[in-house]
Amino acid sequence: MDSTFPRGHLCLGEVYEQKQMLQQAAEEFLEGRILAGDDPRTIDALKRAIATAGYVGYFRERLSQLTNRSKESYASPYDLAEISIRLGANEQALKWLSAAYDERSPSLANVQIEPRLEPLHSDPRFQEIVRKVGLPMTQATQTGS
């Protein structure tokens, strides 16, 4: 309803992502970052990344930005896990999820039903994180589907 609400664009990006409309997803994620007031240099780098490599470029650049930022200030390991999984870096995603657990991230509340994390469901390390968080194992989490 409010086209200037950053979270609305991020959620729309997630919808496009689930529909495999990845270019549109990247554009909505970028719009959310713009409306959130990210630094103009950050935005310019994301625009270049999208122009060069689309959705994957956007997330490579976001991962780079957040990793660099984490050297000076806080970056959510859960966010880094979600970005890593989007890039097919499952091992790295599991490491970030473990770090999110170690810091008791509230973002883990729905870890077992988050669609982006589905590629990890059959991994025993992912199942162990779900167990340690205290969430029930869903059928999808147990079978990896």
**What pLDDT shows up at residue 140?**
56
* Ranges of the chain whose pLDDT falls below 70: 1, 138-145
**What pLDDT shows up at residue 104?**
95
- Residue spans of the domains in the chain: they are 1-74, 76-145
CA nearest neighbour of 82 among 103, 100, 102, 104: 100
From the CB of residue 133, how many other CB atoms can be counted at a distance below 10 Å?
17
- Are 28 and 10 in contact, with CB atoms under 8 Å apart? yes
**What pLDDT shows up at residue 142?**
58
**Per-residue pLDDT tens for 90-113?**
999 999 999 999 999 999 998 988
Separation of alpha carbons 107 and 79, rounded Å: 9
Separation of alpha carbons 51 and 80, rounded Å: 22
DSSP characters over 83-95: HHHHTT-HHHHHH
